[in-house]
Structure 1
Amino acid sequence: MPHEVTAIFESYRDAFNALDGRAVAELYAEPSGIAQDGVYTHWSSRASVEQNMTALCQLYQKRGFVRATFEPGQFLDQGPNHAVADLLWRIEWTGEQAPWQFNTSYNLLRTGDGWRVLLCTAYTEAALFSPTKHSAA
């Protein structure tokens, strides 16, 4: 994965580690979207991304979020302005909660502000939110 692409995910990780939904949203293109659990959600504005990411950060905080880390996976260069990156995420929690590990892929778009997420595909995350998975939630 090229350094400039890894750098956007380092910023993404850092924004989540600060539980700053607005900073996460700034790394998304406008418009953008998420595919999760067989459903596509279109975000027509950065404000709608920010609302979603802020809610996710609040959920993480309530669950005892400590930090997120990632390992770069597959990378598909699609010319000078497009790419697809797959990451293995690990989220650590307080107490005796087991860390979450899941993969997410990102369709990226190069903008005047650099690489931005055009589409996030959360394809192994659904099971993490199962109430039986984390009784401490």
Structure 2
Amino acid sequence: MAEALEVEVSAFINRYNETFATYDGNQIAKLYCAPSITMRGDGAIHCFQSHDEIAQFFQGVVDAYRREGAVGGPPHDIVAVPLGERSALAIVTWKNLRSDGNIARQWRQSYNLVRFADGWRILATTFHLSGVPS
């Protein structure tokens, strides 16, 4: 069971990565529940009530990545933890690479996932922060 979940969650995270590589906030938003919540790398918490809010937010994120020269990069060290029959926690290390192969940005992030009839969607995300919040 745990091995099957690991494969299933890894496939979803890889699909999420491929969707992010489209740089299309609307496509990214389709992989989220509405409402949903995220805590970002700067400690800011965002609550989204609609698909449109999620799409607008992630369009800003991918536009910022482009300005940094990031071209994406595969997920690393994926861990899947079952949370009942229809949900799971996915923990992922991301390395956003530039075209020259250097890391533009790196972080570890957790995703609370919910399984629907048409597949997994993200309910909440948390960047793994270090230090004390200000």
Q: TM > 0.5 between the two? A: yes
1:74 deviates by 2.8
Given candidates 45, 50, 64, the residue that maps to 2:50 is 45
Task: Give the stretch that moved more between structures: 46-55 or 11-20.
Answer: 11-20
1:102 deviates by 1.0
Q: Which amino acid aligns with 1:106?
A: Y
Q: Which amino acid aligns with 1:11?
A: R
Q: For structure 1, which runs of at least 5 residues remain unmatched after alignment?
A: 126-137
Residue aligning to 1:54: 59
Residue aligning to 2:71: 66
Q: 1:87-135 CA distances to partner (integer Å, 9 max, x unpaired)?
A: 011110145854422100000111232110000102249xxxxxxxxxx
Residue aligning to 1:28: 32
Q: For structure 2, which runs of at least 5 residues remain unmatched after alignment?
A: none
Structure 2 length as normaliser, TM-score?
Answer: 0.82
Percent identity reads 28
Residue aligning to 1:133: none
On the 8 A contact 2:9/2:80 being kept in 1, the answer is no
Corresponding position: 1:101 with 2:115: no
Q: May I ask how many residue pairs the two structures share in their alignment?
A: 125
Structure 1 runs (4+) deviating above 4 angstroms are none
On the 8 A contact 2:10/2:78 being kept in 1, the answer is no
